Structure 1
């Protein structure tokens, strides 16, 4: 059996990794073709990765020009602990205030050490005015769980 098939996770395992994690590395395409890579907090909306950012950020400008991106959620420090999910897809843009606010709530609810709910709600409502949100429409998923290499 090839190592690739040994470490590949099932759809349920991929969903569990995405549910447990809070941060995703997002790669968009700069105007010169180079990758623009950032780490973002994210939420899940009906199983899809969801994130928001300032309307004027580099990633927002990149996604307006080219909606393709790659997202990476990973875990583990030692080689035999590494787990990861790479999602390649395109974004669906959400610009209306109620939609952006909804995604903001999903993201904020997963932040570590979040303030009390009323303070978090106030933050999301203030921030949403200057933000845009995205849902990632998956075109391809690649996963690995190196813990399987030692069992």
Structure 2
């Protein structure tokens, strides 16, 4: 069960996650205990954040070693708003690259077909990273900073 604090409740967080085309920043630990930060595309499904990446990516090994993560999804332009939190990761095969296909459509649409072809190439082995949030803190400075909602 996710705990929500800050500017928005569960409905506000869900609306932000569905509309924002901003990558998620995920913080995890490397096996030596040092911190590692990675930025990935995400989709929001059934109360969780889902990402896809190559099965051979270092972050996959780090997450298999330590399933606890922190995350941040926030705008880089005024008005500043977003979420941060923590949760637990599960990793599974991205069968048929279903998650990756959704992410390519969400973030690229038809704007970069060469990148989309490279990402979806048959020789790439992809995994799904699913983050089940435990706690989400949201903030929204729109009232103080104006209403330009560019991500």
Q: TM-score, normalised by structure 1?
A: 0.77
How far apart are residue 125 of structure 1 and its match? 5.7
Q: How does 1:30-69 map to 2 (within 5 A)?
A: 30-69=30-69
Number of the residue aligned with 2:12: 13
Q: Which has the larger radius of gyration?
A: 1
Secondary structure at the counterpart of residue 108 of structure 2? coil
Q: 1:113 to 1:150 in 2, by over 3 A?
A: closer
Q: Work out whether residues 28 and 69 of structure 2, in 8 Å CA contact, stay in contact via their aligned partners in 1.
A: yes
How far apart are residue 116 of structure 1 and its match? 8.7
How far apart are residue 45 of structure 1 and its match? 2.4
Number of the residue aligned with 2:140: 145
Q: TM-score, normalised by structure 2?
A: 0.77
User: How many residues are matched?
Assistant: 140
Name the structure with the higher helix share: 1
Number of the residue aligned with 1:27: 27
Moved over 6 A (4+): none
How far apart are residue 47 of structure 1 and its match? 3.7
How far apart are residue 32 of structure 1 and its match? 2.2
Measure the CA separation in 2 of the matches of 1:41 and 1:68.
19
Q: Work out whether residues 47 and 132 of structure 2, in 8 Å CA contact, stay in contact via their aligned partners in 1.
A: no
Instruction: Give unmatched runs, 5+ long, in structure 1.
Output: none
Task: Let me know the Cα RMSD of the aligned residues.
Answer: 2.8
Instruction: Give unmatched runs, 5+ long, in structure 2.
Output: 147-151
